[in-house]
Structure 1
Amino acid sequence: MVVGAGIGGYVSAIKTAQLGLKTLIIEKQYYGGVCLNVGCIPTKSLLRTAKVFEDIVHKAANLGIDMKTKDEPSINWDKALERKDGVVNKLTSGVKALLTKNGVKQIIGEASALDKNTITVNGKKYHCDNLIIASGSVPNELPLPGFAEGRNSGFLIDSTKILSLPKIPKALTVIGGGVIGIEFGCLFAALGTKVTVIEGAPKILPMLDQDVTALMTKTLKEKYKIEIFTNAKVKEVKGKSVVFEIDGKEQTVKSDYCLESIGRKTVTKGFDGIGLELSERKSIIANDYGETNLDGVYAIGDVTSKIMLAHVASHAGIVTANRIALKANKPGAEDIKMDYSKIPSCIYSHPEIAMIGKTEQQLKAEGVEYKTFKFPFAAIGKALADDDTTGFVKIICEPKYKTLLGAHIIGNRATDMISEFTTLIECEGTITELARAIHPHPTMSEAIGEAAEALESGKSLNL
């Protein structure tokens, strides 16, 4: 039995069914979970609209495209939302069809566990030998003065509500300079919104390599005119204003809406009375197979709080399905487990950001010896032809055996390019093999080959 038909849940259900196990999945709201409905997919749909609009306004003339009229293009926000909803509906209906095709029984309703083998849904009891909890997460909320009133008035919104705003705001305040906050900041800034980001840490996107963060901060400020406040402590919401403090001095920013983007918290409702071991963050503790402290009970995805990314949940679903099938002696089951050191991360800002492994700052702090090289897209023919030369590929390797320690990309198509490094790590490849691999010309991926060649031979061919 699988609880939650999000990315992790539906993948694990399909895989367990394919491995010969009788499978039931329970979903209380919508197929595809947060990612397909109010997360990854709708956000990227709107980001695509923003990018095309930005290219027309700022790049068309440089590319030799003259507008027939003097009127600037405008955004049909209702049409953009309609397209976004169409993409979501196509994918979520596809999930339901895949579950049905693979023989997974489905129930819509909220699940609650009586014990580790008994679940109630819509007043009925269901028994299972194995239970996979994939109940996901919801946005965090700050318990500060005026915040409850701000939510009730519609001024204070989360990452779900911002996807359905009735119109493009003239001004938007973003509390939190993390991944979600920066993605939405880029989206609306590209559409003409005046965006202000308030971040409590010394810099935005603090988890990234410093070189990447520095370039992204510069781009946000100079290209998108986003005002960024760091080391800021949010104090309260007053009407349509956010009050915050920097170095003991109080400041106020007014806007049409304020996005509260301060991370996510796990959903364990219905499973908190069966003896599951929880962390301090109230997430379910699970090992690299998804196993919890209760025999036959597994947890995957956001509910474990390990790395809250859709592709992590999806892979965990495959791992856990195989684990259950292997214990049941089903043919075709494999002994695989999660390796959280091999997880790529992506940010769909403009420019895109992607990374895997350690940052240079982490390696310095750990006292690890390394070599690094950074190759700019400004020296790549495809980037010049695309009129999009912002960014670079940065590779960090171990100097003796030349194994990859970290890879960091900022630029056009970064989120697609990171998979080359993910595969290299999984195959236990080296920088030598990466440099020897022929990268097609002209492509953005040539920057990977160039950086690898510089680390391999000590000399760059094109710098």
Structure 2
Amino acid sequence: LTSEQALELKEVPESLLIIGAGVIGCEFASIFNPLGTEITMVEMMERILPTEDKRVAQTMERIFKKRAINILTGTKLEEITEYREDGITARLDKGEKIEAEKILICVGRSPRINDMGLDELSLKISQKGTIVVNKKMETTQEGIYAIGDVIGGYLLAHVASEEGIIAAENATKLTSEIDYTSVPSCIFTSPEIGTVGLTPDEAEEEEMEVRIARFPFTACGKAHAIGETDGFVQLIVRESDDKILGGQIVGSHAADLVHEIALAIRWGLTAEQLSSTIHAHPTLSEAIMEAARKAE
């Protein structure tokens, strides 16, 4: 199954083998697990959600395992050895055989720009096979613009929408440039994940001196009131000027909450400014205020 075909299923499968435990794989595990499907996830990398912050991935893996989702990391699908009316048998690279009613392939996608006539336009193509653009979304040919998945980067609908606005403004002689520093990324698992800006690992790679502050939802009154205490808020704050550089949230409504951190990054707010902003009680957003307070 592809992700589209999985959404078109008329019946809930008894068992599901998911190849790839990235964003899409984890989202579908969150869809089918509550419906009673027995799920096995196979991921070639050493952890699920390999492109996300380690603590985020570890938290989600712990939650998934608590829900009896079988996770096999550092493992590859070798071949489908048997197709039957009632399912398939798959062999993994370590010799293990797994039977499942359905198999869902979630190993990512890449832009398809072949046969679009780009050679005739003499557009520059990157080594990754994406169209090269500048911050105005203009290609190497003046007056020709490109946005969305074909230029790589953030393969997200809301980013493509902003890129489209930037391209349209520049095409009509207004001067606009894209700013990717505060792009929120949301994963619609259960619980949700919301991330924006730098991760702790990225800050370390760039040899930046930062403070990392976390606040668990187990200490949040609203989270207890709604019975969803899994997860945390994490903030990355620059040591030299107290400015917020990044944030990760795992928890209920994380996809909505993350925008407060995005706003702080976009306009250069400090942890002190965020922590001194009164937040209503009881709310989930109090966790962001408390994380900022711990970062001071």
TM tier, shorter chain?
Answer: over 0.9
Distance 1:234 1:280 in 2: 27
* Residue in structure 1 matched with residue 143 of structure 2 by the alignment: 296
Deviations for 1:364-419, whole angstroms, at most 9, x for unmatched residues? 23321111111011111111110111111011101120111210100001000000
SS at match of 1:201: coil
1:375 aligns with 2:227: no
Q: Distance between the aligned counterparts of 2:280 and 2:164, measured in 1?
A: 34
Measure, in 1, the Cα distance between the counterparts of 2:135 and 2:80. 42
Q: Residue 73 of structure 1 aligns with which residue?
A: none
Tell me the distance in 1 between the aligned counterparts of 2:293 and 2:90: 49
Cα offset, 1:336, TM superposition: 2.2
TM-score (norm 2): 0.94
Within 2, Cα distance between the matches of 1:271 and 1:440? 55
- Relative contact order: is structure 1 or structure 2 higher (C-alpha 8 Å, sep ≥ 6)? 1
Contact 2:197 2:262 in 1 (8 A): no
* C-alpha distance after superposition, 1:82-135 (max 9, x if no partner): xxxxxxxxxxxxxxxxxxxxxxxxxxxxxxxxxxxxxxxxxxxxxxxxxxxxxx
User: How does 1:307-326 map onto structure 2 within 5 Å?
Assistant: 307-326=154-173
Q: What are the residue-to-residue correspondences of 1:139-178 with 2, within 5 Å?
A: 157-178=1-22
Which residue in the other structure is 2:40 paired with? Answer: 196
Partners of 2:103 and 2:127 in 1: CA distance: 29
- Larger proportion of helix: 1
Report the secondary structure of 1:259's partner residue: strand
- Among 400, 405, 424, the residue aligned to 2:245: 405
Q: Displacement, 1:293? A: 1.2
Which residue does the alignment assign to 1:209?
53
Aligned to 2:74: 231
Q: CA deviation at 1:211?
A: 1.3
Q: CA RMSD in A?
A: 1.2
Distance in structure 2 (CA, Å) of the matches to 1:298 and 1:365: 33
Match of 1:436 among 269, 276, 279: 276
Tell whether 2:27 aligns with 1:179. no
Does 1:305 find its partner at 2:152? yes
Correspondence for 1:446: 286
Q: Which runs of 5+ in 1 are unaligned?
A: 1-156, 327-332, 457-463
Q: Report the Cα distance in structure 2 between the residues aligned to 1:362 and 1:296, rounded to whole angstroms.
A: 35
Matching residue's letter, 1:267: R
Shift of 1:423: 0.9
Deviation at 1:281, TM superposition (A): 2.7
Question: C-alpha deviations, 1:308-347, integer Å up to 9, x for none?
Answer: 0111101101111111112xxxxxx4x2211222211110
Does residue 363 of the first structure (1) align with residue 203 of the second (2)? yes
Aligned residues between the structures: 289
Which residue does the alignment assign to 1:242? 90
Identity of aligned residues (%): 37
**Is residue 276 of structure 1 aligned with residue 119 of structure 2?**
no
* Worse-matched range after superposition: 363-372 or 303-312: 363-372
* 1:425 is the counterpart of 2:270: no
Q: Say whether residues 1:342 and 2:182 are aligned partners.
A: yes
Moved over 3 A (4+): none
| Residue of structure 1 equivalent to 2:226 | 386
- Aligned partners of 2:138, 2:89: CA distance in 1, in Å? 46
Aligned to 2:104: 259
* TM-score with structure 1 setting the length: 0.61
> What is the one-letter code of the residue matched to 2:118?
D
User: How far apart in 2 are the matches of 1:308 and 1:252?
Assistant: 34
CA distance in 1, matches of 2:126, 2:159: 19
Q: Which runs of 5+ in 2 are unaligned?
A: none
Q: For residues 420 and 318 of structure 1, what CA distance do their matches in structure 2 show?
A: 23
Q: Which amino acid aligns with 1:177?
A: A
